[in-house]
Structure 1
Amino acid sequence: MSTSDPFYASASTDKVAQEMLGMLLTYNSPKGVVGGWIVETEAYMGQKDSAAHAFKGRRTASNEPLYGPPGTVYIYSIHGRYLLDVAAQQKDIPQGVLIRAVEPFIGKGIMLKNRSKSGFDLTNGPGKLMEAFGISDKKMNFEIFGDGNLDIHQNRKKIPKAIETSNRVGVSNQGDWASKPLRYFVKGNPFVSGIKKREMDLNDFGWK
């Protein structure tokens, strides 16, 4: 068992969030393996970031996984939905990357049964992908990606033609950092949340 994954602390959190685009996220679920290519992420920059869970050094039982070693699983709930985050710096530096959307690749039939949705709506948002994966609790918190049932495969990766940036979603009322361009997504991928039909690349899904 490893105690951390050095990839996540190899660069600044915003760079890690961009590097994660195209990597394969998998979950060995009770119903079978499910997975998809990461197409959208958001970086949260810790104590200085007014939109981050650890803003001003906030440290609670619920956000403690963020303070864990690099590669720690951090699952949290908001508005009744579960979201998936990974600690992206050394222990006690509470910065993380939220995985906002994936393009389904493995176990799509399982995901369809879990969510009762089809098409791009299956996994085009952070709560949607967790529902499609069948994750509805925080039991995997504090595990390291790759040590348990969740993994981000750094060596199984698609290459985006272009990476777009924007402000993060749903944090507009959370201070000065709300407008910073810390959301990253594969340009044209139809599984990106909120993408307009005219912006979709339906030939290559935004991959090289």
Structure 2
Amino acid sequence: MTTSPDRAPLTRDFFDRCVLEVAPDLLGRTLVRHSAGGTIELRLTEVEAYAGEVDPGSHAYRGRTPRNSVMFGPPGHTYVYFTYGMWHCLNLVCGPEGRASGVLLRAGEIDVGVGLARERRISARSDKELAKGPARLATALDVDRELNGSDLFDGPAPALSVLHGTPPPRDLVRSGPRTGVGGDGAHQPWRFWIDGDPTVSPYRAHAPRHRASRRTT
């Protein structure tokens, strides 16, 4: 049986590129989450790029630590972090190996497994809000730190994988400052989204906190 082009998995080489190439190229791709509860498929509509040791907004800006080590590769793995003592956020590591970078998955539209996502996101007022924001996305997909370092290419049915999907026309791809990033990284136009898509989260500028917990990758 022939697999349709949109159902073909992305290759590791896709992720073994500069993060500023990978991030916008992830829009429209299909993120698949396999779990004991069932399968969810999500069309990615919003992402942010983080460039590691050259990016003040990145967890890896000051070098490798036990927390961020997975960001240094190899590409095609997941980096999951816990923020504000409440939420998890999911990132996809891109290459080359040894140079930390990753893409934060900010939002998407759930195409398969809506009922399962609703069980996890009971506060969502509509299906468009199920994964509208990085914490909501991770919650809907049941992503936590146990998935940190997962390989997208680990066997025929990995916990997380990315299919080719249907990338949007280039004239619908927008870019702008990253949400909630302050300091020297505040104005980098490294947030990418599909223009007009109702699942894209609202932009919020950085707001200093008394006990700030870094939420970027």
The alignment's TM-score, normalised by the length of structure 1, stands at 0.85
Contact 1:53–1:63 (8 Å) recurs in 2: yes
Aligned to 1:73: 78
> Alignment partner for residue 51 of structure 1, among 57, 63, 69?
57
Q: Identity of aligned pairs, percent?
A: 31
Following superposition of structure 1 onto structure 2, how do residues 126-141 of structure 1 map, counting pairs within 5 Å? 126-135=134-143, 137-141=144-148
Aligned equivalents of 1:42 and 1:20: distance in 2?
10
Shift of 1:31: 0.9
Residue in structure 2 matched with residue 27 of structure 1 by the alignment = 33
Q: Tell me, yes or no, if the aligned pair for 1:37 and 1:105 is still in contact at 8 Å.
A: yes
CA–CA distance in structure 2, aligned partners of residues 47 and 32 of structure 1 = 37
Deviation at 1:168, TM superposition (A): 0.3
Deviations 1:45-71 (A, max 9, x none): 1101000011132x2111111012011
**Where in structure 1 do 4 or more consecutive aligned residues deviate above 6 Å?**
none
> Partners in 2 of 1:140 and 1:52 — Cα distance?
20
- In 2, distance between residues paired with 1:144 and 1:90? 15
Partners of 2:142 and 2:56 in 1: CA distance: 31
Name the residue aligned to 1:167: 177
The answer to whether the 8 Å contact 1:66/1:95 transfers is yes
Q: Distance in 2 between matches of 1:157 and 1:169?
A: 25
Deviation at 1:139, TM superposition (A): 1.3
Q: Please list, as runs of the form range in 1=range in 2, the aligned pairs for 1:1-208 lying within 5 A after superposition.
A: 5-10=12-17, 12-57=18-63, 59-79=64-84, 80-116=86-122, 117-119=124-126, 120-135=128-143, 137-147=144-154, 148-153=158-163, 155-160=164-169, 162-172=172-182, 175-194=183-202
Residue 75 of structure 1: how far off its partner (Å): 0.5
Matches of 1:144 and 1:132, distance apart in 2: 20
| Equivalent residues of 2:46, 2:107 under 8 A apart | yes
Q: Deviations over 1:18-56 (max 9, x none)?
A: 000000001002110012100000000110100001113
CA-CA distance at 1:146 after TM superposition: 3.2
Q: How many residues align?
A: 186
Q: Quick one: which amino acid aligns to residue 71 of structure 1?
A: G
Give 1:83 shift. 0.4
Distance 1:88 1:112 in 2: 30
The unaligned stretches of length 5 or more in structure 1 are 196-208
Q: Amino acid of the residue matched to residue 110 of structure 1?
A: L
Q: Which whole-Å CA distance do the structure 2 matches of 1:27 and 1:146 have between them? A: 13
C-alpha distance after superposition, 1:136-183 (max 9, x if no partner):
x21122222132210111x222424511111001112xx222211000
C-alpha distance in 1, partners of 2:100/2:148?
14
3-state SS of the aligned residue for 1:38? strand
